[in-house]
Structure 1
Amino acid sequence: MVARTMTVSESILIPADPLALYERISDPTQMGGWSPENRGATVAEPRESAYVGMMFVGHNKRGIARWTTRCTVTAADPGERFAFRVHAIGLRTPSLRGPIANWEYRFEPEAGGTRVTETWNDDRTGWPDSVAAVFDRIVTSGKSFADFQRGNIHVTLRNLQRILGAPA
């Protein structure tokens, strides 16, 4: 068996300013506007902008399945980088704790706008590959999580380009 892919990343050029993109993407309550699975979030202690340590509960849906995740912001560098780790999951409340994933968005100025890179890291390093492979195929309808997330990232970035790259 081939070891599973633990990181997936893709980039897209969006005709917008890095700081403007960061401000929108770093607001977890808006993620549902471009993510194929996320339906938004509830921020534990709302503030004007994201900060390291900020916690939020993500509301997610895939087909008929619905679940929540508890996340903590790990990087909040305006116009440069936004990242968070997912460390709990559950149906109505994220009560099952453990390392799940890390998500990161990088913003690099480029001619014509900003190159936005979205990266997913699988934090389930303690899971044997064979167990992860079976679990992944069940919850993603036959795919590995890396392949599944590759598709999600692709859709998310195109949605960001369409929504945030459009003239105001």
Structure 2
Amino acid sequence: MTTPAPDAHGSVTIAADPTAVYALFTDLSTMASLAEETESMQWRRGSGAAPGAVFAGQNRNGSRTWTTKCTVTAAEPGRVFAFDVHSAGIVPIAHWRYDIEPASGGCTVTESTWDRRPRWLRKPAAMVTGVSDRNTANTEHIRLTLQRLKERAETG
């Protein structure tokens, strides 16, 4: 089975060790500070990045707020971190993935997301989040997150 292309993605080359970069985006408080819409993240099941671990995300766009439940699907230090996002604990929202490839002097990180919302949820979700074009918004959010990740990783 072929994996479909992501709905939004971006890459950045970072002059830092892949394991150190992985540690940044699997530390939930650090990741929340880097991501565009995320205010906070807390482990709900497990205490670190491992398949099956669950964390909650508190998100904000202006005055709009919402909570998501995220289940880790892949966690390989220095290589990949991925999770599925659900609303109300059961409705699929998205799949997010961070791939790390060694590069000269550091690594290249690719952040990707797949929109998994059912069609019936897209309009209500836009009203809750204030984002009518989620793929375009996510493309910009990924660019900003990766820029912040690069700055954080390269400055220590």
TM-score, normalised via structure 2 length: 0.87
Give me the whole-angstrom Cα distance separating, in 2, the residues matched to 1:46 and 1:136: 28
- Normalized per residue, the structure richer in helix is 2
1:51-110 deviation per Cα after TM superposition (whole angstroms, max 9, x unaligned): 00000111111101111111100000111000000012xxxxxx3631100100001110
Query: Would the aligned equivalents of 1:140 and 1:148 in 2 still touch at CA under 8 Å?
Result: no
Q: Which residue of 2 aligns with 1:92?
A: none
Query: Would the aligned equivalents of 2:64 and 2:130 in 1 still touch at CA under 8 Å?
Result: no
Q: Which residue of 2 aligns with 1:155?
A: 144
| Structure 2 residues not aligned, in runs of 5+ | none
Deviation at 1:139, TM superposition (A): 5.4
Distance of aligned partners of 1:67 and 1:86 in 2 relative to their CA distance in 1, 3 Å threshold? same
- Residues matched between the structures, number: 152
Q: Bigger shift: 73-82 or 143-152?
A: 143-152
Provide the secondary structure at the position in 1 that maps to 2:91. strand
Q: Which residue of 1 aligns with 2:44?
A: 44
Matched, 1:127 2:119: yes
Deviation at 1:27, TM superposition (A): 2.2
Give 1:48-87 correspondences, 5 Å limit. 49-87=48-86
Matched, 1:117 2:97: no
Post-superposition, which runs of at least 4 consecutive aligned residues in structure 1 deviate over 3 A? 134-143
| Structure 1 residues not aligned, in runs of 5+ | 89-94
TM-score, normalised via structure 1 length: 0.81
Deviation at 1:46, TM superposition (A): 4.4
Query: Would the aligned equivalents of 1:30 and 1:40 in 2 still touch at CA under 8 Å?
Result: no
Give me the whole-angstrom Cα distance separating, in 2, the residues matched to 1:151 and 1:122: 15
Distance of aligned partners of 1:46 and 1:8 in 2 relative to their CA distance in 1, 3 Å threshold? same
Distance of aligned partners of 1:150 and 1:139 in 2 relative to their CA distance in 1, 3 Å threshold? farther
Residue identity matched to 2:33: G
Give me the whole-angstrom Cα distance separating, in 2, the residues matched to 1:20 and 1:13: 14
Deviation at 1:40, TM superposition (A): 2.1
Give me the whole-angstrom Cα distance separating, in 1, the residues matched to 2:20 and 2:72: 19
